[in-house]
Structure 1
Amino acid sequence: MKTYLNEISQFLYRLGNIPADELKAEHLRKYLVFCFEKLKLSENTLHSRINALSNKKHKAMLFTAYSAGLRVSEIVRLKLTDIDSERMLIFIENAKGKKDRYVNLSPVLLDILRVYFKQYSPRPKVYLFESEQTGDAYPIRTVQQIFSNAKRDAGILKDVGIHSLRHSFATHLLDKGTDIRYIKDLLGHFDIRTTERYLHVSKHQLVNIASPLDDLFKSKQIDW
């Protein structure tokens, strides 16, 4: 926290009279070029400065992956028109096996996407997450690297990829008692046996599942 606060303060100092809420991507690029060419900062220090500036688009990608249990190929193909805020649904078009499906749009994710869309410049026109350079959908490899960078910065040493967010989505739904048939549809699996592979992970969490009796007692709906 101390490191990030220091890096942000350095950035704000260089901004001068530019209001922070009026920042554009060009301001960030110029600042990072200045740090590299003029200040000649080391690679590690540059990484700290970049991370401290919090790339909201990258965060939004990772939140989207986990909140809806999406494959990385589905994340990069999401279009603005696929986000249905009225019905609180996300449309996944032509997914694996050429299968369309709907998944729930988390209210928290919707807020995150609205903040990202409001603050990011240039705003996406077709795809939810567009490349600044080309305006096309993000390459899958780039999103995988974004996850790897976030994992490294969080100090997570386990050898997992972005697909682990999809696994976690399914496992956590199982832990909450969600019927595996519903999880199958949310993940877009054709065969229930594909979904059942998540069960062996969930069984490790059985010790943490509270009895419904405990919940009733804690909520004071019954007494002893």
Structure 2
Amino acid sequence: MLVQLSKYFSCSPEKVTADQVKQYLFYCKEERNLSNSHINQTISAMKILKRDVLGQPWNEGIKINRPRRNKHLPTILSKQQINAMMEATLNLKHRAIMAVLYSAGLRRDELLNLKMVDIDSQRMLIRVNNGKGNKARDTLLAKKTLGMLRDYYRHCHPKPTQYVFEGWKPAQPYSPTSIRNIVKRAAARAGIKKNIFPHSLRHAFATHMLEDGANLKLIQKLLGHSSLSSTMTYLHLAAIDPSVKSPFDQP
């Protein structure tokens, strides 16, 4: 970044002034259409060079404002794609992992910390004790998911003793990398070209709940969001009601 800045003004970076930095950033944004992240990294690089390397004053009063990071809406899987991923996965443990991630809207770390005692088949709830911010909550236990968990438990050897999904060592949770690989392989086998992660299943859960008419406050509670504004992101992701027509198609 500093090399590009230096080339732009045909001088070494330490000789570049604050006004020139502003000029260069304007060029990056308006002419080259570079991301806000790139611009912020350039500002940070100049600050480190001037203040920490050269020992020169970096006057924050110059007001080189950092732009907000670009917000990217997450990729949302359809219900059909979720089902295709399940059907493409023959391993009972792997299928149960994806079922819990999707049907309960869990984060990956919440899944890894899930214990046998957290599955409440009487009330059809999953207790999340190690949620973000160490907040406990209850979320849904789907009938299909309960069936998959029972199939997995019935056939797995050795049986899990503490965590629902254990690694090679007894009473030790599964690894985060393994969860990521399971989801990515399932997506590839299902012919899904999108870049899919375990969190994609949580996004799908929230979006599909909203599309099916669930209250936004309920979704917030199930996801464990401290702020409703975080949950409101899914308003942008939910599919548009097919009954809504463009004014161009109205009679």
TM-score by length of 2: 0.60
2:146 match:
110
2:43 match:
none
1:58 to 90, 94, 109: 94
2:241 to 206, 213, 222: 206
CA pair 191-108 structure 1, distance change in 2 beyond 3 A: same
Q: CA deviation at 1:171?
A: 0.5
What does 1:7-156 correspond to in 2, within 5 Å?
A: 54-156=90-192
Q: Which residues of structure 1 form unaligned runs of 5+?
A: 1-50, 210-224
Q: Which residues of structure 2 form unaligned runs of 5+?
A: 1-86, 245-251
- 8 Å CA contact 2:160, 2:170 repeated in 1: no
Identity between Structure 1 and Structure 2 (%): 41
Q: Which has the larger radius of gyration?
A: 2
Q: CA deviation at 1:176?
A: 0.8
1:215 match:
none
1:165 paired to 2:201:
yes
CA pair 96-53 structure 1, distance change in 2 beyond 3 A: closer
CA distance in 2, matches of 1:208, 1:75: 37
Q: CA deviation at 1:181?
A: 0.4
TM-score by length of 1: 0.67
Q: CA deviation at 1:53?
A: 8.8
How big is each residue's C-alpha offset from its partner over 1:189-212, in whole Å with a ceiling of 9 and x where there is no partner? 00000000011111x331168xxx
Matched letter for residue 68 of structure 1: A
- 8 Å CA contact 2:130, 2:136 repeated in 1: yes
Matched letter for residue 240 of structure 2: Q
CA pair 52-61 structure 1, distance change in 2 beyond 3 A: closer
Q: Once superposed, which parts of structure 1, at least 4 consecutive aligned residues long, lie more than 6 Å away?
A: none
Q: CA deviation at 1:185?
A: 0.2
CA distance in 1, matches of 2:129, 2:201: 20
- 8 Å CA contact 1:77, 1:127 repeated in 2: yes
